[in-house]
Copies of this chain bind each other. A is one copy, B any other.
Amino acid sequence: MTELLEAAQALRPVDTGLYQEISHFYARHFQTVDSGDVAGWAGGFTTDGVFDSNVLPAPVVGRDTIEAATHRSEAARRTTGVQRRHVQTTLVAEHAGEEIRTRAYVTVLETLPASPTTIYCATLCEDVLVRGADGGLLIRSRMILRDDLR
């Protein structure tokens, strides 16, 4: 296969059914963490999944480690009574060999009781998705680019 063909394949957009499946996967994924179900949310990563961000000194590696780190930050947030909403939009999804690569905007809103809602941060979320043993989608790696910390 020529390099040109490989490059073209790398950019092959997903079809309608898969685009919807991915949209729906993310809607559940973000509603799950916003509802406080950190374990359910972390279950969306592969066991060797990687969570990285331009806020972090190093990537967080492994589902259990991702879950433990998120439990800590969620517990701290919960004491303040803040409600977060991860608002995902503007989703691009492409096949790259066996993987699916996605890029979407995730805007994180925060609301304290009896207070106006504020934008905590605007981000670009770049994921690599794969199929788990049961056929469902899982996140193999995530890179969150916060716009305020470039």
Q: Which chain A residues have a beta carbon within 8 Å of chain B's beta carbons?
A: 13, 16-17, 19-21, 23-24, 26-28, 30-31, 83, 85-93, 103-105, 107, 109, 111-119, 121-122, 147-150
Whether A107 lies near B117 (C-beta < 8 A) is yes
Q: Report the minimal beta-carbon distance from A46 to chain B, rounded to whole angstroms.
A: 21
Which residues of the partner chain B approach A28 to less than 8 Å between Cβ atoms?
A: 92
Q: How many copies does the complex hold?
A: 3
Bound CA span A86–B86, Å = 16
Which residues of the partner chain B approach A17 to less than 8 Å between Cβ atoms?
A: 16
Cβ-neighbour of A107 out of B87, B93, B148 (below 8 A): B87
Cβ-neighbour of A90 out of B27, B116, B121 (below 8 A): B27
Whether A109 lies near B88 (C-beta < 8 A) is no
Whether A19 lies near B19 (C-beta < 8 A) is no
Given A114-B149, A116-B148, A122-B109, A87:B89 Cβ within 8 A: yes
Bound CA span A4–B119, Å = 40
Given A23-B19, A24-B19, A117:B117 Cβ within 8 A: no
Whether A113 lies near B27 (C-beta < 8 A) is no
Which residues of the partner chain B approach A149 to less than 8 Å between Cβ atoms?
A: 113-114
Whether B111 lies near A148 (C-beta < 8 A) is yes
Given A19-B20, A24-B19, A119-B117, A85:B111 Cβ within 8 A: no
For residue A148, which residue of chain B has the nearest CB? B111
